[in-house]
Structure 1
Amino acid sequence: MLDANLKTQLKTYLEKVVQPIEIVASLDDGDKSRELQAMLQEIVLLSDRITLVERTDDTERKPSFSINRPGTDISVRFAGIPMGHEFTSLVLALLQVGGHPIKLDDAVIEQIRNLDGDYRFETYISLSCQSCPEVVQALNVMSIINPRIRTEMIDGALFQSEVEARQVMAVPSIFLNGEVFGQGRSGVEEILAKLDSGAGARQAAELNAKDVFDVLIVGGGPAGAAAAIYAARKGIRTGVVAERFGGQVLDTLAIENFVSVKETDGPHFAVALEQHVKAYDVDIMNLQRAASLVPGKLIEVKTASGAVLKSKSVILATGARWREINVPGEQQYRNHGVAYCPHCDGPLFRGKRVAVIGGGNSGVEAAIDLAGLVSHVTLIEFGAELRADAVLQRKLHSLRNVTVITSAQTTEIHGDGKKVNGLSYTDRVSGASHKVELEGVFVQIGLVPNTEWLKGTVALSRHGEIEVDAKGQTSIPGVFAAGDVTTVPFKQIVIAVGEGAKASLSAFDYLIRTSFDDETETVEEKVAVPA
């Protein structure tokens, strides 16, 4: 199961274990149980602090295993074989159950410890899902801190009957005490906010008490991170308020074109961004959605939680999100057959019929990936021909289980009230309507900027992007913008980083040239800028 290199790395990690660990495996006579058994036996040989107990007569899911600290209630559980993206979750669980320090703020640890109630979480994942490990690891660490929280990772591909019974059609899907709790990427603080009803009000009060910022960046993606680093290096008071630090990068599978980094993936890149920002004196206010912008000498950013942050300058870097097709059935069946991430949700449709809407690079890549999992893919493109690169089109047309339909306008997504069962489209040449029977629809038609909250303030293009000049200045003095949310062409990570740096330098230039009557100390004096 584990190659020699992986064993060497794991053995090094397990040297950090300080408490004994007992792994209890629930097995049957199936092939997957034998695979899991082999992997666990290999792990046990790597540390004398780990023991293995095998059971066949219990009522747990099979194959599954728990990682326990003997003599305590500390335990986490995995149903399936946590390889792929989930191997990191396994390693962290071993270390944390084994007494390795948990890297969370003391206040967050105390908040988890003080949760009142009994919580049983079940998280359905796919091993190819890059968003799933964050949820699994968050719940694992919460259960280690507070044993009244029980958690189990479940590989949906191995437990298809449960997936069908519970109508799980997107991962990660989280169940709490048998009821749906949430879907999609969530970290410790996001989960805590849903469990602790008073957390939002406390956070809003904390934000309201903050002093005026010199630069406040709205958004925590590549543009926002670069802006924060450049501002903090100037020695001025810098803050970042973000709905989720990392932004859309968190949903990106492979990154192979960021100069100097040959290959990485979105979650790892997002972690590197956050670590770089935290190396400077930057006030990061995560999980806070901006609700409105109020111009003035001191610019105000109001959050959805009711907080008001004030700053002398603001950089808008709220990025973009997947564009929706806006047809009947899309919202009703979102996460119930309508999906936007083929890498994450594709394995849940193994052996089924799906459609991909969109004939650009993203759509064609999605169709190619899905063709290896599902029984049939129907790719629907609005235009008269596909827009993807020629090399991708050649690969697509070589696949026998893919049908390409061009000049087609999707008009409705159908379902039985619980999940998708079909899609209708109109032939834009003949005008004829057609219906395709299928179980899943993957929407891949580009991005839409996150600017709804800015309407009526900064000038926006007809596509909703923030209009900026060559220096990143918006139509409001002191308000700058950068990244995918702006009119700057070519939505690329490397371009967003450069634009974030430029906007930050422009904001600094604005600060040193602007008088703020309520400040006894000027920005020039703070950073010792020559007159």
Structure 2
Amino acid sequence: MLDAALKTQLKAYLEKVTQPIELVASLDDSAKSQELDALLRDIVGLSDKVAYSRNGDDARKPSFAIRRIGTDVQVAFAGLPMGHEFTSLVLALLQVGGHPPKLDDEVIEQIRNIEGKFTFETYFSLSCQNCPDTVQALNLMSVINPNIKHTSIDGALFQAEVEARQVMSVPTVLLNGEVFDTGRMSVEQILAKIDTGAADRAAEQIKAKDAFDVLVVGGGPAGAAAAIYAARKGIRTGIAAERFGGQVLDTMAIENFISVPHTEGPKLAAALEQHVKDYEVDVMNLQRAEALVPADDDGLVEVKLANGASLKSRTVILSTGARWRQMGVPGEDEYRNKGVAYCPHCDGPLFKGKRVAVIGGGNSGVEAAIDLAGIVAHVTLIEFDGKLRADEVLQRKLRSLPNVDIIVSAQTTEVFGDGQKVTGLAYKDRVGGDLHRIDLEGVFVQIGLLPNTEWLKGTVELSPRGEIVIDARGQTSVPGVFAAGDATTVPYKQIVIAMGAGSTAALAAFDHLIRTSAPAEVKEAEAA
């Protein structure tokens, strides 16, 4: 099952196992069960601390549990955790085997102290780059606190179960049989939902913080670069992010990051976060900014957060990024994650053998249609303009596929459903004015980005597109407030450009600090 190189790597990892573990499989006569059996036998052959049993009684087949012998600590997988989930398998083996988790002691203690019984199930797809974070977070929590149980389920392999439970996006997490959340989740995000006092404690901690010299709002490439450049100047730096990594977390393949021929979004996001933490940066994750208050007589800019706390700083760098643009038509919100999706790599396998539409004829839309055509029964690509806007090489590939239709000069007007899931969409012919309906089960929206700047209206100057207007130094219309990345008027929304813009904004903020007088309280302290 595993090639020689992968076995060598895994054997080295398994040397970190300190407590004996057992792999308990539930199998039938299917080909997938045979593959899982081969995989587990390969693993057992690499470590004398790993045992194997085929006596599992899980109704899902193939499936297996990783159990710490003599305890009730275990992690379970239904399916073969390969592809993006192979890392989840390796980490589960190590963590159940006693290898210490890479978490702050405070977070580990918080997990241990959670009371109650929690049975989580996570549906994933092997092509989903968002799923491993959620799977790994819940696996880790279940190892730390045995009252938390977790099973990861390959939705493409257990399609009848997926349809019965109406799972139409991944990752989808169920808690005690009910939908808990969808989308990528970190340990901190999960804790915030099940530990009801976590948000209030975080708000109190934030309220007690002293003012920063540079406060970065947003944790994507621009924000990470800004925080690193500011911290290297030796000044007090903080970063408040709703989701560290930002949109990079939702990016599949990155092949234009100079000097790195290929990487994936989650890997780059993890590297960004680790680089930031190598410096003395106060990282405040899961914090959503709601208002910006320009500096008053005290010389401090204030950022108000959704949890009721506020942060103050002599300078602020706004790097709140962008999000997928929605169609804004009836039915879109109602059927989000019930057939309306925004990540073809993640959710595509759930639509195997079905009919779907892709909205958007740029590079993202055409790439999505090409990828989906290899999974689903039929793809209809709908483009508002009179022609596709994607690169010619992508258009040629798309037109060569037999199960793809292309409709241009078409305006999507409504998404239809039966109350539970998508059943079709309507579009208007922009040339003749006729209305048409297409029967299908999925709609993948790929129509560009929308800057996350609504909370700044009336405070800083925004372009007609809602982007923060900046000059060559990243300065906004508000003194001491700078901005960088996809939320700004920078013409090209690229990771490498966002990093450069974040660095520029940090250097400009530092220049602003050394050219302006210190806050009043600092002057008074010096006088004393």
* Structure-2-length-normalised TM-score: 0.98
The secondary structure found in structure 2 opposite 1:410 is strand
In structure 1, the residue matched to 2:42 is 42
In structure 2, the residue matched to 1:392 is 394
**1:494 to 1:281, Cα distance in 2 relative to 1, 3 A:** same
Q: Could you list the runs of 5+ residues in structure 2 that have no partner in the other structure?
A: none
In structure 2, the residue matched to 1:299 is 301
In structure 2, the residue matched to 1:11 is 11
Distance of 2:280 and 2:144 partners within structure 1: 29
The secondary structure found in structure 1 opposite 2:209 is coil
In structure 2, the residue matched to 1:80 is 79
In structure 2, the residue matched to 1:338 is 340
Letter in 2 for 1:292: A
In structure 1, the residue matched to 2:261 is 262
Distance of 2:313 and 2:287 partners within structure 1: 16
Cα deviation code 1:215-272 (max 9, x no counterpart) = 0000000000000010000000000000011000000001111111111010000111
Map 1:298-447; keep pairs closer than 5 Å: 298-447=300-449
In structure 2, the residue matched to 1:272 is 271
In structure 2, the residue matched to 1:27 is 27
Distance of 1:42 and 1:60 partners within structure 2: 24
Cα deviation code 1:174-215 (max 9, x no counterpart) = 000000000000000000000011111100000000000000
- Percent identity of equivalent pairs: 72
In structure 2, the residue matched to 1:475 is 477
Distance of 1:218 and 1:444 partners within structure 2: 26
Cα deviation code 1:323-371 (max 9, x no counterpart) = 0000000000000000000000000000000000000000000000000
Distance of 1:106 and 1:434 partners within structure 2: 58
In structure 1, the residue matched to 2:285 is 286
The secondary structure found in structure 1 opposite 2:99 is coil
Map 1:96-107; keep pairs closer than 5 Å: 96-107=95-106
The secondary structure found in structure 1 opposite 2:315 is strand
What is the root-mean-square deviation in Å for CA atoms of aligned residues?
A: 1.0
Map 1:110-125; keep pairs closer than 5 Å: 110-125=109-124
Is the CA contact (8 Å cut-off) linking 2:321 and 2:485 kept in structure 1?
yes
Distance of 2:159 and 2:523 partners within structure 1: 64
Distance of 1:179 and 1:505 partners within structure 2: 48
The secondary structure found in structure 2 opposite 1:139 is helix
The secondary structure found in structure 1 opposite 2:520 is coil
In structure 2, the residue matched to 1:133 is 132
In structure 1, the residue matched to 2:488 is 486
Distance of 1:521 and 1:476 partners within structure 2: 23
The secondary structure found in structure 1 opposite 2:385 is coil
Cα deviation code 1:149-184 (max 9, x no counterpart) = 000000001111110011000000000000000000
Cα deviation code 1:107-162 (max 9, x no counterpart) = 11111111110000000000000000000000000000000000000000111111
Cα deviation code 1:483-519 (max 9, x no counterpart) = 0000010100010000000000000000001112424
Distance of 2:422 and 2:109 partners within structure 1: 43
Asked if 1:146 corresponds to 2:148, the answer is: no
Letter in 2 for 1:438: L
In structure 2, the residue matched to 1:497 is 499
Cα deviation code 1:67-108 (max 9, x no counterpart) = 000111100000000000000000000000111011111111
Cα deviation code 1:304-323 (max 9, x no counterpart) = 11110000000000000000
In structure 2, the residue matched to 1:510 is 512
The secondary structure found in structure 1 opposite 2:470 is coil
Distance of 1:367 and 1:506 partners within structure 2: 42
The secondary structure found in structure 1 opposite 2:290 is strand
Distance of 2:359 and 2:224 partners within structure 1: 32
In structure 2, the residue matched to 1:528 is none
Cα deviation for residue 395 of structure 1 reads 0.2
Letter in 1 for 2:162: V
Distance of 2:473 and 2:196 partners within structure 1: 42
The secondary structure found in structure 1 opposite 2:316 is strand
Distance of 1:45 and 1:7 partners within structure 2: 9
The secondary structure found in structure 1 opposite 2:444 is strand
Letter in 1 for 2:142: S
The secondary structure found in structure 2 opposite 1:180 is strand
Distance of 1:223 and 1:358 partners within structure 2: 27
Cα deviation for residue 520 of structure 1 reads 3.0
Cα deviation for residue 521 of structure 1 reads 6.7
Asked if 1:90 corresponds to 2:92, the answer is: no
Is the CA contact (8 Å cut-off) linking 2:217 and 2:239 kept in structure 1?
yes
Map 1:124-273; keep pairs closer than 5 Å: 124-273=123-272
Distance of 1:380 and 1:407 partners within structure 2: 8
Is the CA contact (8 Å cut-off) linking 2:300 and 2:519 kept in structure 1?
no
Distance of 1:128 and 1:393 partners within structure 2: 23
Letter in 2 for 1:403: D
* Structure-1-length-normalised TM-score: 0.97
In structure 2, the residue matched to 1:527 is none
Quick one: which of 518, 522, 528 aligns to 1:520? Answer: 522
Cα deviation for residue 59 of structure 1 reads 4.0
Distance of 1:257 and 1:519 partners within structure 2: 47
Is the CA contact (8 Å cut-off) linking 2:22 and 2:50 kept in structure 1?
yes
Distance of 1:59 and 1:216 partners within structure 2: 50
Distance of 2:153 and 2:256 partners within structure 1: 34
